[in-house]
Amino acid sequence: MASPNASLIPIERVASRIFLVRGQKVMIDSDLAELYQVLTKNLNLAVRRNLRRFPEDFMFQLTLEEAEALRLQFATSNPARGGRRYLPYVFTEQGVAMLSSVLRSERAADVNVIIMRTFVRLRQILAADEDLARKVASHDRRIAVLFDHVQRMLAPPPRKKIRIGFSPQGV
């Protein structure tokens, strides 16, 4: 017999929103807000009101480079065009579990069960295939290297400074 929340959100949809950042599997605040059907600012407000429940290993804010890498990889909102004004927060598995105690709706409870099952399923898949686990672990580093190369290619070449004025002979 299927659970009542089994068809609420397909597990693949949740799995596609789990990213590897700083060696941890995390979900971005805006993706979580969409799944919980709340505004991102309201989700973050609920978290700020309960900061004691979210230590660094449960939730952290992305750096500008991490946010830009994710934005480039997944074509998310561009701040120059009215997108996010603040760097996104990401939640580890424990942080997502804690969100259910902060967001007290039935939907939040149902969605949380699905997200927890997705994290467990990903762990099972990774444990079953060590090669896949190594690839996932190096995925974050490859994106950072690729992002650095793209930035260097797009950056204008350094301009040679032209000296103006008198310079004495022999100097």
For residue 3, pLDDT beyond 90: no
Question: Does residue 35 form part of some domain?
Answer: yes
Residue 27 included in any domain = yes
Whether residue 90 is contained in a domain is answered as: yes
Q: State which residues form the domain around 37.
A: 11-154
* pTM greater than the 0.85 cutoff: no
φ, ψ for residue 21 (rounded to 5)? -130, 130
Overall average pLDDT of the 68-91 stretch: 71
Q: What is the pLDDT of residue 161?
A: 76
CA proximity to 17, closest of 30, 27, 2, 7: 27
How far is 59 from 64, CA to CA, in rounded Å? 16
How many separate domains does the chain show? Answer: 1
Residue at 168 is within a domain: no
